[in-house]
Chains A and B, each alone.
Chain A
Amino acid sequence: MIRIEEYTPIVGEAAIEGLFLLAKHLRGKVIQNINSTAVGGGVAEILTRMIPLLQQLGVDARWDVIKGNEKFFAITKKFHNGLHGVPVSVTDEEYEEFLEVNRDNAGQICFGDIVFVHDPQPIALVEKRQELGNNWLWRCHIDFSKPDPAIWKFLERYVVRYDSAVFSAPAFARSLPIPQVLIAPSIDPLSEKNKEIPEETINSILDRFGIDRSRPVVTQISRFDYLKDPLGVIRAYKLAKKHVDMQLVLAGGGATDDPEGPAIMKQVQEEAVKDKDIFVLFLPPSSDLEINALQRGSTVILQKSLKEGFGLTVSEAMWKAKPTIGGAVGGIPMQITHKYSGILTNSIEGTAYWIKQLINEPEYARRLGSNGREHIKNNFLVTRHIKDYLLLFISIFRESDIVYL
């Protein structure tokens, strides 16, 4: 288990002292996290990492998982798709079934002083609030920019009963009568995907894939999905390669819900066959060390998304001090400030232009990379995420605009 003190060399003593100082104000409070799955998925991953760290800070943080049958999860999958803007139809019976499962679970959970509910699946547990008289927070981890109106109307009845709602990006905020808090996601600098690794490991992994480290390497790590624009990346590479020697690595998972996914994958592979300097790597889910090495072994990293929720691969690359070029969409501009901590682009031509610039001007690229790492250190590491959660819990009991602790 990772100890909170292990983060001190990375974020500094003052930052860790700050966490202990805030945690002191939550003594005697039980903070009950509730979500719908114990393993798999981003929320379970965050809670697995965070609960032990909160406990080490002296916070009585707990975690419960609601139980549901297949029918319930089919309904919540519909909710999920609808909130992402996919047209879905949910029947009255399905809404009723959803509420029934929530009510069954409410009867079995031992609720804490602060109930921290993650995502829509357990949202209706808040019906218990009146009876218990405790505090409730709702954390929405998903892209909420264009929710299906009918599903939102149903969920809104429950959201407004919470003390506060938490979103990951400004675009997800709604017009609500309760406070809405912005808490961005984070990366863990001590995880397999982000920890420091020896040069030999980087070399041996890149060697295994046949990538030549003596020549520039441009990499995009992401799903083979239309919205990540792998074909646009290949076109940008081809434009840039007319003037600069380089290799292109496209690495990520092959699985996707996108119906156009298989066609995109096929086209990407066809392009790769024609050019020995394009490496298309389909990585299984357990490839964190390989991703770490590919990022660290790259000269420039791309995340040329056409649409993006938050895009944590950008933070991962920047944390490794890599000059990073990102599409100016979703949460990417929160991570990259153009020409200060990375490059934002809106087109294939712009991406090609900046690939050339960054390969030809390594000193400028190094400065962007160094600024990028500093920005991630200050804003997107798990310690900042913990601080935001502690403030969220404390804020329930302190209402003023300026709070003296």
Chain B
Amino acid sequence: MTDFHFYVKFDQTLLLGQRAKNVPELLEGIRRVPESCIYYHTHRFLQQHHYLSPEPPNDFAYWVTEVLGDKVLGEQLSSVDTIQFESISGLRDRFVSLIESHLSSGAKTVDCFPGEEFHFIASRTFAAPTPYIAHNLGEFRDILQRVSISTLYYHIFDAKLRLKRGENDFSKWFDSNGMSALAEAVRNLDPYTYTLEGLRKRILTLTKEHDPD
């Protein structure tokens, strides 16, 4: 069996100095900002409010709804189902097409009040190995119980989209060690619909259910 090395991640928040005061400017920004900015605005809420109920909104939807008062576009943007996307560019394209179609339908655009602009923000990710290494499923479970939320976040969310590994690190490890049913079960979770502690518990339960020992 190969080892699983747990990592922890830290994020640095970068201000891009770009802002939008209405929907067309938001669209323009979404088109040209770096991918780390799209990732930030679609995952920030999850990370900063990980103790809250699931189904967090993305920042674009929140701003359009709460600041511009555009409930229709806001609802469309909040319904973007992040789990379905294999890449950040795909996620970006979805936001672009929703906003383009909203604008081409003749929807009226308004400017926000001064001081309430949307500020584009990106992040840099710093990943570091922890001392925790699992050599089997039992150890994996013991370690997963005590590592920080940032570790869980890194291996589940960052791994797939931010690090472009195509899937979460846990499923990849389970697969490569002959635990394909467990890999599939974890792969099939929609992590965006759990709080991070809820997600930790769910994965722990799955590892127990699939543990031959």
Quick one: which of B8, B15, B162 contacts A181, CB cutoff 8 A? B15
The residue of chain B having its C-beta at the shortest distance from the C-beta of A173 within the complex is B15
On whether A170 and B15 interact (CB within 8 A), knowing A18-B8, A402-B162, A404-B127, the answer reads: yes
Contact of A401 with B36 at beta-carbon distance under 8 Å, contacts A15-B148, A21-B128 already known: yes
Name the residue in A15, A22, A403 with the highest tally of chain B Cβ atoms < 10 Å from its Cβ.
A403
- Of all chain B residues, the one with the shortest Cβ separation from A337 is B49
- Residues 81-111 of A contacting B (Cβ, < 8 Å): none
Q: Which of A349-405 contact B (CB under 8 A)?
A: 371, 374-375, 378-379, 387-388, 391-392, 394-395, 398, 401-405
Q: Are A341 and B49 in contact (CB under 8 A)?
A: yes
Q: Which residues of B contact A371 (CB under 8 A)?
A: 49, 51-52
Q: Which residues of A contact B66 (CB under 8 A)?
A: 338
Interface residues of A in 6-48 (CB under 8 A from B): 12, 14-15, 18, 21-22
Closest to B147 in A: A14
Stretch of B96-104, B113-121, B181-189 lying at the A interface: B113-121
Give A22 to B162 CA distance when docked, in angstroms: 21
**B107 within 8 A of partner (CB):** no
Binding site for B on A (CB under 8 A): 12, 14-15, 18, 21-22, 145, 167, 170-176, 179-183, 329, 337-338, 340-341, 371, 374-375, 378-379, 387-388, 391-392, 394-395, 398, 401-405
> How far is A391 from B127 in the complex, measured between Cα atoms in Å?
11
Name 15 A/B residue pairs within 8 A (Cβ), A-sorted: A12-B148, A14-B8, A18-B10, A21-B128, A167-B15, A172-B15, A173-B17, A174-B17, A175-B17, A179-B14, A181-B13, A374-B51, A401-B36, A404-B127, A405-B127
Instruction: Tell me whether A403 and B127 are in contact (CB under 8 A).
Output: yes
With A14-B147, A182-B14, A340-B52: A170-B124 Cβ-Cβ less than 8 Å = no
Contacting pair A402 B125 (CB below 8 A): yes
- Contacts A391-B126, A403-B127, A405-B127 known; A181 to B150 CB distance under 8 Å? no
Further 12 A-B residue pairs, CB within 8 A, beyond A173-B119, A405-B127: A14-B151, A175-B17, A329-B115, A340-B49, A340-B52, A371-B49, A371-B52, A388-B12, A391-B10, A394-B126, A395-B126, A403-B125
Residues of B within 8 A of A167 (CB): 15
Please give, as numbers and ranges, the residues of chain A lying within 8 Å of B2 by CB-CB distance: none
Chain B residues with CB under 8 A of A175: 17
Task: Classify chain B's interface size.
Answer: 20 to 34
Bound complex: CA of A332 vs CA of B170, how far in Å?
38
- Say if the beta carbon of B105 comes within 8 Å of chain A: no
Tell me if B84 counts as interface (CB < 8 A to partner A): no
B163 interface residue (CB < 8 Å to A): yes
Name B residues whose Cβ lies closer than 8 Å to a Cβ of A: 8, 10, 12-17, 34, 36, 48-52, 66, 115, 117, 119, 121, 124-128, 130, 146-148, 150-151, 162-163
Q: Give the complex CA separation of A22 and B124 in angstroms.
A: 15
Known interface pairs A22-B10, A338-B66, A375-B48. Does A403 touch B126 (Cβ–Cβ under 8 Å)? yes
Q: How far is the CA of A404 from the CA of B125 in the complex (A)?
A: 8
A residues near B128, Cβ cutoff 8 Å: 21-22, 404-405
Do B14 and A21 touch (CB < 8 A)? no
Listed from nearest, the 10 A-B pairs whose CB atoms lie closest are A14-B148, A170-B119, A173-B15, A405-B128, A180-B15, A182-B13, A173-B17, A374-B51, A391-B12, A403-B126
Distance A378 CA – B44 CA, assembled complex (angstroms): 13
A181 to B10 CA separation, bound complex (whole angstroms)? 14
- Chain A contact surface mostly: mixed
Query: In the complex, which residues of chain A have a beta carbon less than 8 angstroms from the beta carbon of B10?
Result: 18, 22, 387, 391
Which residues in A have their C-beta under 8 angstroms from that of B121? 170, 182
Among candidates A172, A174, A378, A402, residue contacting B127 with C-beta atoms closer than 8 Å? A402
Known: A15-B148, A18-B148. A173 touches B49 (CB 8 A): no
> Per a CB cutoff under 8 Å, which of B14, B34, B52, B146 touches A180?
B14
| A371 vs B49: C-alpha distance when bound (angstroms) | 9
Contact B17 A401 (CB under 8 A): no
| A7 CB to nearest B CB, Å | 14
Let me know if B124 and A401 touch, CB within 8 A: yes
Q: Which residue of B lies closest to A373 (CB)?
A: B51
In Å, the complex CA distance between A203 and B34 comes to 53
- A182 and B124 CA atoms in complex are apart in Å by 11
Bound: A402/B121 CA distance, A: 16
| Contact, CB under 8 Å: B119 / A171 | yes
B208 to chain A, nearest CB (A): 23
Q: Are the C-beta atoms of B147 and A403 separated by less than 8 Å?
A: no
Please determine whether A18 and B15 come into contact, CB atoms closer than 8 angstroms. no
Closest chain-A Cβ to B131's Cβ sits at a distance in Å of 9
Cross-chain contact of A401 among B125, B146, B147, B151 (Cβ < 8 A): B125
